[in-house]
Amino acid sequence: MTTVKATQPERQSDQNKSADDERVRSVSIVNRMLSRPELGSVSGAILVFIFFALVAWDSGMFNADGILNWTTVSAQLGIIAVGACLLMIAGEFDLSIGQ
């Protein structure tokens, strides 16, 4: 049984070929982040929290009772949204929630 081993200069030339390939281009981190669809929702959520932190800071929204209030409401809406999503996935486009 014979084995073929690549020598160091051959390995380096293969690496240089892939580095010189015009199909492979470097993309900046900003362009990569902007191409992600999650960026809009995450940045929107951050902006909403910043807005309410500035406007309603002394109203009690960010103490323990305030956090409990809006997480309870968001959990209830999330449960309803999961039901509507399952209906849409199943092909039953009955989006009239509550009747």
How far is Cα 6 from Cα 18, in angstroms, rounded to an integer? 17
**Residue count of the chain:** 99
Q: Could you tell me if residue 98 is inside a domain?
A: no
User: pLDDT tens for residues 32-84?
Assistant: 888 888 888 899 999 998 998 899 888 888 888 988 998 999 999 999 999 88
Q: Could you tell me if residue 17 is inside a domain?
A: yes
How far is Cα 61 from Cα 67, in angstroms, rounded to an integer? 6
Band (pLDDT 50/70/90 cuts) for residue 1 is low
Q: Could you tell me if residue 58 is inside a domain?
A: yes
Q: Could you tell me if residue 96 is inside a domain?
A: no
Three-state SS for 1-59 is: CCCCCCCHHHHHHHHHHHHCCCCCCCCCHHHHHHCCCHHHHHHHHHHHHHHHHHHCHHH
Q: Could you tell me if residue 31 is inside a domain?
A: yes
* pTM, full prediction: 0.50
Q: Could you tell me if residue 72 is inside a domain?
A: yes
Our count of domains for the chain comes to 1
Q: What is the per-residue pLDDT for 74?
A: 93
How far is Cα 4 from Cα 23, in angstroms, rounded to an integer? 29
Q: Give me the domain span that covers residue 59.
A: 8-90
